[in-house]
Every structure is written in structure tokens, then in C-alpha cells.
Amino acid sequence: MRKKGLIFLLGIIFLFSFSAWGRKKPAGIASKVNSWDKSFRSSWVYKPAITGRKKEIKLLIKGKKFKLNDDLICDGKNIYEIDTRNREVKIFDVKGWRTLPFWHVPLKMSPFGETQKTGEATIAGRSAEIYEIRGKYEGAEVFLIYWIDKEKKVLLKKEHIIGPRNDPLVYEFYECKSIEFNPSISEKDFTCTIPSGYLKIKVGFISSNLLDNKF
């Protein structure tokens, strides 16, 4: 229960989740990481804080279009969430998108402030710069750590830690395992073909935590 409570607190202190389409341009490194001018194919591992069970993620991006694991597709106008179990497709108009996709970084986290560069490392064979947001909340140490591709300014890894680093109460991360920049991409990759018999539902919110990330 304590772990879930601390995760909930992170959701409360998350203040500057700017629009995914960027009505307001964030400053510094966040502006470069979050710009929609990139093209890459990548594979990731995600470890959630609550279950701890690792999940694999495939992410394909070209400008404002993307595909996640074949069940989340954005054609630049709508986001389609394909639910094969319930035989339905949720359709969300991106003009209303105000949350943070997992491959972006926040401008800052209240009450901790701006990111600070703390070092360099190698992730997925790429040279990366390390940035941190850190502080204390309700007596617990909080660390938000981001590894940014030094050349391409693409997120390669992010960690969220609550408690001591060597024995955290909460620990979750996204880590890129492989990435290919400017790959050959077909526009068909971003076309959602809705299977016959599937229910189409227009929704006003995004339910996937991959597109509504809190760190």
C-alpha cells in the first residue's frame, strides 16, 4: 500500500505535462527531445513500479506519426487503440492530446524544478548525456533520471526512483535496447485498418500509460 501511495503522490506533483503537440514550447533539453521532427525504429523494455514484470515495446516514429506494438497507431490526426480481446478500436483526436508519451521528458516536476546534467553513459550503443531531477517529497527522496542521445537528442532511458537509490521503495524504468535512425518507413505503417466486426468508439481521453506517462 505504501508503494502505491508514493506512486500516487508522483501523479500529484507532476505539474508541467505540456501538450504532446506542444502549444507551449518547453525550454532547454526538453524542447529538443520532445520535438516532433524525428524518425526512428526502436525496441524498449519497460518495468512498471507496481507489478515489476518487464514488458517489451516496439516504437516506430516518423514526425507526428507513430506506431506502438501494432495496437497503438497515430496517423497524425487520430490515435487508434486496438483492443483485440473486446473487438473494438478507440479513436482519439490528437488535437486534444495534453499528456506525455513515454519517449518524451517533462519540462520540470514541481516542487523539484529543472533538469540538471550529471554525466554521460552508453545506452543501446549510443553516447548519451544523463540528466536528473531530484528532491524530497513527504520525507522521501525522489529521483527522475533521463539518458538523452548526445547527437540525436532522443530519449534512450528514463528511471523513476522513490527512496534510497540502493534500496528504493519505488523503481520503474523505460530503456531502449536498439534504435535505428531514419529507417525506411512506409505510410502504411501508420494506417489503422479496422477489422470487420470491430466496434469503433470515439473517446475523449487516452487510456494507455505509454501515452500518458507521469515521468
What DSSP letter does each residue of 86-153 carry, written as one string? TTEEEEEEGGG--S--TTS--S-BTTTBS-EEEEEEEETTEEEEEEEEEEEETTEEEEEEEEEETTT-
Using CA atoms, how far apart are residues 112 and 15, in angstroms rounded to an integer?
A: 10
- Residue 5, C-beta contacts closer than 8 angstroms, at least 6 positions apart: none
In a structure prediction context, what are the per-residue pLDDT tens digits for the chain, which is 215 residues long?
455 445 444 544 443 444 444 434 445 788 899 999 999 999 999 998 877 789 999 999 999 999 999 999 999 999 999 999 999 999 999 999 988 999 999 876 766 767 789 999 999 999 999 999 888 877 888 889 999 999 999 999 999 998 888 888 889 999 999 999 999 999 999 999 998 999 999 999 888 989 988 88
- Three-state SS for 38? coil
User: CA–CA distance from 209 to each of 101, 151, 212, 215 (Å)?
Assistant: 8, 28, 5, 11
How far apart are alpha carbons 30 and 36 in whole angstroms? 12
Judged on CB neighbours under 10 Å (0-12, 13-18, 19+), 91 is middle
**Domains of the chain with CATH codes:** 2-202 (2.50.20.10)
Residues 115-144, buried b or exposed e (16+ Cβ, 10 A)?
beeeeeeebbebebbbbebbeebeebebbb
User: Looking at residue 123, what is its pLDDT?
Assistant: 98
Alpha-carbon span 187 to 179, nearest angstrom: 19
Residue 103 has, within 13 A of its CA and on its CB side, a CA count of 26
Q: How is residue 108 written as a grid cell?
A: 520540470
